[in-house]
A and B are shown apart, each in its own frame.
Chain A
């Protein structure tokens, strides 16, 4: 079975935000919730680099470890999903997540939180695949349709890669070899407890 991962080639990312709006478009994600965002380091200075970030679907996911209602589960493709019917919006996962992935809709005026939302790796949720009810709660299930996450598929410079970890690692490795430089697979040690095999 494939082990799905994300890899952002920061030598290619130009912070065009296609991944962000593609995600919004695909899943009708409301204003204020960002399943994906682009972070820029050294903005405006030599060495400026941007990285597209979302839930990395960690091996041994910290969010799952701290969830008091056990709403997280890992699919056979190693995608970390959660069940919104169980989620109580406590926010623990936000504190545990090294990537700032969990998002919460604001419900009232006193900072009360709704149920957590995050990147699903375009893999929907616990309901039956590709059903209207799944779409309403979690958005599209592209994986079930044999497609990859829309953010990576639409990335303007093909910086953001999604797919089986070994395949995207091979693609990245080939790029680094050909061009002679690479900034490494950012976040891989934290998320997958491995470095980019170079």
Chain B
């Protein structure tokens, strides 16, 4: 057993022999030990292997030869969002070694298990090597041209028969920024908004919740800035496993400032082991705990009254809701004792600066958006936003999930959060140099062009339910609000086991007419279902095998350079997207402003097009040249402030030019280290809360009162900048003749309505900055967000709750529709009383440090796979003993939907409370007890397989984003 989470037990290497079998063929490890006694024989072996391997794949496991010259290439780790620089040593086109990246101010040489093992990703003996096609249940090798021709022909057929919305385009948080942007643009040219990626299942609720509070959906500060905090609360996150390098900064803050590190989590995590205080709550009761803290804060007058008066709208309504959460009620609902919560609340409100860190424990909930809103309100009430050491330090999941979100791989918006309305489309038509009418003609209708698409959490429902063309009266509400259901799915860089209700997604997979997986690995999609035809696997390389930028969680962009050529027959995302666009007939138009000589897309030219378009979030100043300059001068940046040191080529600039980096690259905005920071001039990265929701509501102003960023010409709140506003301020003539001409060309008679975010000349932004103003205005943050289902966040019991007694008082939302589909709430929750009798244990899921996401890539990495060889469930000793379960024994975990079950090993531990079980979500390849290794294409099966927790997870979606509920459902566990 090697679940390793046990003290003092030495692992029995269960898979060692199997793995030796894999490795003993042509690509053996160098005979490290066998030749050990043979002296010179070792050298002979080196010659043979060295040459043979290099030929085999271009990047296989060649031996590092210290006697040959070495080339150093810098790229960014492709795992979490911390953004660690990876320094690769390349010899003869082969990645032979990895050195610490000392100069990076983010990781300072360090890595976690995954980062220290990334070289294996391009060694590739488990990688997908060439395009494959499923023919009557058998995988057949085909060429790229054949694959792309057949796929495009089928797509065009489906488009003809069922319309453009019948294809689901699933993108990836592992895309570079440039690939994410191209993929979103591709979907627009294809004519659908059903284009999504992992942010849906990661931080979509954060983006919605935070953006609805103060303007932008992103981490307000940075990992490095946490060093300044005096109180840190980590709630619903386990960065010690999910973002290990971030702990370097967290622990530094804890040690340097003697800061309190408070972990609030249902599980005593590896992070909690380093906390100064650990608070255990019942899963799904975040809002009661936050309101419980605010109850003490308001009761004792610890709130930041000046901050609230100047910069917050609607706090009085929050007070009314908070008043209901007395210490007694909080303890009844969440299990957290009042005295402990008072201690935590006092520290957070009075030992400032304080920061709140969260991850998917907050977001992956039916109340995800409301959770995030409550967290943000706690920060606002205590004045902990917009200064060093404070803020919403939202640790995002994948390398580039922030960038992919910013670039609109999302069913609700075009790149840059412009939305989907006609103004947004017209802006992008201008940026892309195409007629608005052309884009409109690509869609089934104007209504569908402006309607959010179908998110990845529900793609299978949208496949199984009929469209409007095919529905009958018997279907009732169970239909998709578009002409046809999904007939085809294109998956780029996304696992098949990441979405809940897997038994249902299998059925949908079998129903699809076309399934295309473009990935370095075959992923779960290749073996999960019993499809026999119409499936293609395209080998797409990792980001280490291509150029491009990535946006870390702190909004810093980092340029990664290609380490080696794509291995085997794999190609990069850009070229595959380009080739598909060509075959689908819109390649010329789509790539009009982008260089792609011979079908090889130039990443820099994609970034330049983004620079010319993404004014709304300040992705405009980060030119490829500036980003490369930062990578070349990493050592010049300060560890805590991330500022370039005086006398260096990057003096005064913030590392990675975190967005918003206002205006054109030429005006040299330094980037924004800390959002909404009024202590700095906007030209130095200062700012205000964004005026995004109007200027007044019910007689109250929504603009800031007496608060403004340093050096501002307007010393009060102001709306976002448009030509009309410039004219009223008398600043219109600050625009240059060129800028005015551009505005007139694009807006004509409507010039007054041209805004900072749609002005392609950047003139409005430039003038605003010259006057010390934030282009997006200076408003109050919203404690009350009237456009959300719960304007003031309220506690709602999970849909599958172990406390049915609380449903009457805290019910979930009624059944409704959203994202073109029905969304059930109370009708499912009302079954809880029955369900919880048979499924009494709360099931929650999360990460392990060794693996990531669906886990196919990391479970194929021998250095990581060796460390975690078995899927397991953590179960409390009390629950184990009543069930007769021994530590390490096989158990069946069963779920309340689809007669689901999973055979896993038991890890009996006090890490979880009585009545709570935890399972990691990285496993796949087994399904309800069946080992499906044989269904992978030969030689591509990951080393470690196991049951996926999402076989067991159940219905439940956030009403705002359709985020799935993975953190609270019910299960039963029994001995196998």
**How many angstroms from the CA of A156 to the CA of B117 in the assembled complex?**
13
**A153-B109, A179-B258 are contacts. A114–B247 as well, Cβ < 8 Å?**
no
Beta-carbon contacts under 8 Å, B102-116 to A: 108-116
B6 and A15 contacting across the interface, CB-CB below 8 Å: no
Chain B residues lying within 8 Å of A111, measured Cβ to Cβ, are: none
Residue of B nearest to A103 (CB): B33
Residues of B within 8 A of A45 (CB): 268, 910-911
Q: Which of B19, B100, B119 has the most CB of A within 10 A?
A: B100
Q: Which residues of A have CB within 8 Å of B911?
A: 43-45
- B598, CB-defined interface residue at 8 Å: no
In the complex, which residue of chain A has the Cβ closest to the Cβ of B68? A132
Q: Assess whether B100 is in contact with A153, with CB atoms less than 8 Å apart.
A: yes
Known contacts A30-B33, A42-B7, A131-B66; A85 and B39 CB within 8 A of each other: yes
A178: which of B109, B241, B255, B849 is its contact (CB, 8 Å)? B255
| A170 at interface by CB-CB < 8 Å | no
Interface presence of B35 (CB below 8 A): yes
Shortest CB-to-CB span from A143 to chain B, Å, is 13
Q: Which chain B residues (846-863) contact chain A, with CB distance < 8 Å? A: 849-850, 862-863
Stretch among B40-48, B360-368, B573-581 lining the A interface = B40-48
A136 near B109 with CB under 8 A, answer no
Complex Cα spacing A135 to B67, Å? 11
At the interface, is chain A mostly helix, strand, loop or mixed?
loop
Chain A residues with CB under 8 Å of B271's CB are: 14
A197 in the interface (beta carbon within 8 A): no
Q: Which residue in chain A gives the minimum CB-CB distance to B909?
A: A44
Q: Are A136 and B37 touching (Cβ within 8 A)?
A: no
- Alpha-carbon distance between A145 and B66 when the two chains are bound, in angstroms: 10
| Per-residue interface assignment for chain A, residues 102 to 115, with 1 indicating a CB less than 8 Å from any chain B CB and 0 otherwise | 00011000000011
Given A17-B867, A115-B33, A133-B42, CB of A25 within 8 Å of CB of B98 = yes
Residues of B with C-beta under 8 A to A158: 108, 110, 248
Q: Would you give the 0/1 interface string for B242-283, flagging 1 where the beta carbon is closer than 8 Å to chain A?
A: 001101100100111010000000001011011000100000
Q: Which of B13, B36, B849 contacts A114 (CB 8 A)?
A: B36
Q: B residues within 8 A CB of A156? A: 110-112, 244-245, 247-248
Which chain A residues border B29 with CB–CB below 8 Å? 28, 30
List chain B residues, Cβ under 8 A from A140: 64, 66, 97
- Cα A156 to Cα B82 in complex, Å, equals 12
- Cβ of A132 and Cβ of B43 under 8 Å apart? yes
Interface pair A178/B33, CB less than 8 Å apart: no
Answer yes or no: A18 CB below 8 A from chain B CBs.
yes
Binary interface encoding of chain A residues 27-56 relative to chain B, with 1 for a CB under 8 A from any of its CBs, else 0: 011111100000111111110111000000
Check B63–A132 contact: CB distance below 8 A: yes
Bound-state CA distance A85–B40 (Å) is: 11
The answer to whether B110 touches A26, judged by C-beta atoms less than 8 angstroms apart, is: no
Q: Is A146 an interface residue (CB 8 A)?
A: no
B625 to nearest A CB, angstroms?
30
Whether A84 lies near B116 (C-beta < 8 A) is no
CA distance A100 to B8 in the complex (A): 12
- Give the docked Cα–Cα distance between A114 and B240 (Å): 37
Task: Judge whether A16 and B910 touch: CB under 8 Å.
Answer: no
Contact assessment for A132 and B46 in the assembled complex, using a CB-CB cutoff below 8 Å: yes
CB interface residues, A 30-88, toward B, < 8 Å: 30-33, 39-46, 48-50, 84-85, 87
Interface size class, chain B: 35 or more
Complex Cα distance, B112 from A136, in Å, reads: 26
B274 touches A14 (CB 8 A): yes
Instruction: Give the one of A84, A141, A156 with max B CB within 10 A.
Output: A156
Q: Are B247 and A84 in contact (CB under 8 A)?
A: no
B113 touches A150 (CB 8 A): no
Contact with A along B273-312 (1 / 0, CB 8 A): 1100010000000000000000000000000000000000
Cα–Cα, bound, A87→B30 (Å) = 19
Interface positions of A from 125 to 140, Cβ below 8 Å from B: 130-133, 135-137, 140
Bound complex: CA A115 to CA B864 (Å): 24
- Given contacts A18-B110, A31-B19, whether A175 and B117 have CB atoms under 8 Å apart is no
Asked whether B241 lies within 8 Å of A133 as measured between CB atoms, the reply is no
B863 touches A25 (CB 8 A): yes
The answer to whether B116 touches A178, judged by C-beta atoms less than 8 angstroms apart, is: no
When the two chains form their complex, are residues B255 and A135 in contact, meaning their CB atoms are under 8 A apart? no
Q: Of A24, A85, A133, which contacts B46 at CB under 8 A?
A: A133
Verify if A3 is at the interface (C-beta below 8 Å from B): no
Asked if B866 CB lies within 8 Å of chain A CBs, one says yes
Instruction: Verify if B5 is at the interface (C-beta below 8 Å from A).
Output: yes
Q: Are B6 and A43 in contact (CB under 8 A)?
A: yes
Report yes or no: B40 in contact with A133, Cβ–Cβ below 8 A.
yes
List of A residues within 8 angstroms of B37 by Cβ:
84-85, 87, 115
Interface status of B16 (Cβ within 8 A of chain A): yes
Task: Indicate if the CB atoms of B63 and A18 lie closer than 8 Å.
Answer: no
Report yes or no: A43 in contact with B113, Cβ–Cβ below 8 A. Answer: no
Given contacts A25-B116, A153-B109, A155-B110, contact A132 B849 (CB under 8 A): no
Decide: B7 and A136 in contact? CB cutoff 8 A: no
Query: Which A-chain residue is minimally distant from B50 (CB atoms)?
Result: A132
CB-CB < 8 A to A40: which residues of B?
A: 5, 7
Whether the Cβ atoms of A21 and B117 lie closer than 8 Å is yes
Contact of A14 among B31, B119, B244, B867 (CB under 8 A): B244
Could you tell me the distance between the alpha carbons of A87 and B116 in the complex, rounded to whole angstroms? 30
B13-A32 in contact (CB<8A): yes
Residues on A with beta carbons closer than 8 Å to the beta carbon of B113: 16-18, 20-21
B589 to chain A, nearest CB (A): 45
Q: Is there a chain A Cβ closer than 8 Å to B65's Cβ?
A: yes
Known: A14-B244, A31-B20. A154 touches B116 (CB 8 A): yes
CA–CA, A26 to B87, complex, Å? 13
CA distance A131 to B68 in the complex (A): 10
Given contacts A25-B116, A156-B245, A156-B248, contact A16 B240 (CB under 8 A): yes
Alpha-carbon distance between A157 and B253 when the two chains are bound, in angstroms: 12
| A28–B39 touching, CB < 8 Å | no
Interface string of A164-180 (1 = CB under 8 A from B): 00000000000100111
Q: Quick one: given A156-B110, A156-B111, are A135 and B64 in contact (CB under 8 Å)?
A: yes
Tell me the minimal C-beta distance from B239 to chain A in angstroms: 9
Q: Does A8 contact B (CB under 8 A)?
A: no
A117 nearest CB neighbor, chain B only: B33
The residues of B that contact A20 with a CB separation of less than 8 Å are 113, 863, 867
**Which residues of chain A are within 8 angstroms of B65 by Cβ–Cβ distance?**
132, 135
Chain B residues, Cβ within 8 Å of A28: 29-30, 32, 61, 63
- A191 within 8 Å of B by Cβ? no
Q: Chain A: which residue is nearest B22 at the CB level?
A: A31
Q: Is A22 part of the contact surface with B, judged by Cβ < 8 Å?
A: yes
Q: In chain A, what residue has the closest Cβ to B115?
A: A18
- Would A136 and B30 be within 8 Å (CB), given that A17-B850, A46-B268 are in contact? yes
* B941 CB-CB contact with A under 8 Å: no
Asked if A135 and B8 make an inter-chain contact with CB atoms under 8 angstroms apart, the answer reads: no
Contact indicator A26/B98 (Cβ below 8 Å): yes
- What residues of A have a CB within 8 angstroms of the CB of B33 in the complex? 30, 33, 105, 114-115, 117
Q: Which residue, A11, A137, A178, has most C-beta atoms of chain B within 10 A?
A: A137
Residues on B with C-beta less than 8 A from A42 are 7
Whether B117 pairs with A132 at a CB distance below 8 angstroms is: no
Quick check: B248 and A21 within 8 Å, CB to CB? no
A30 to B30, CA, bound (A): 9
Asked if B112 and A150 sit within 8 Å, CB to CB, the answer is no
Closest 4 CB pairs of A and B: A44-B911, A17-B113, A22-B116, A16-B244
Q: Give 15 pairs: A residue, B residue, CB < 8 Å, sorted on A.
A: A14-B247, A16-B849, A20-B867, A21-B864, A22-B98, A46-B278, A49-B273, A50-B273, A84-B36, A135-B63, A137-B35, A137-B36, A140-B66, A155-B110, A158-B108
Extra A-B contacts (14), CB below 8 Å, given A31-B13, A137-B32? A11-B274, A18-B113, A18-B115, A25-B98, A26-B97, A31-B16, A43-B6, A45-B910, A106-B16, A133-B42, A135-B63, A145-B66, A154-B111, A157-B247
- Residue ranges of A at the interface with B (Cβ–Cβ < 8 Å): 11-12, 14-22, 24-26, 28-33, 39-46, 48-50, 84-85, 87, 100, 105-106, 114-115, 117, 130-133, 135-137, 140-141, 145, 150, 153-158, 175, 178-180
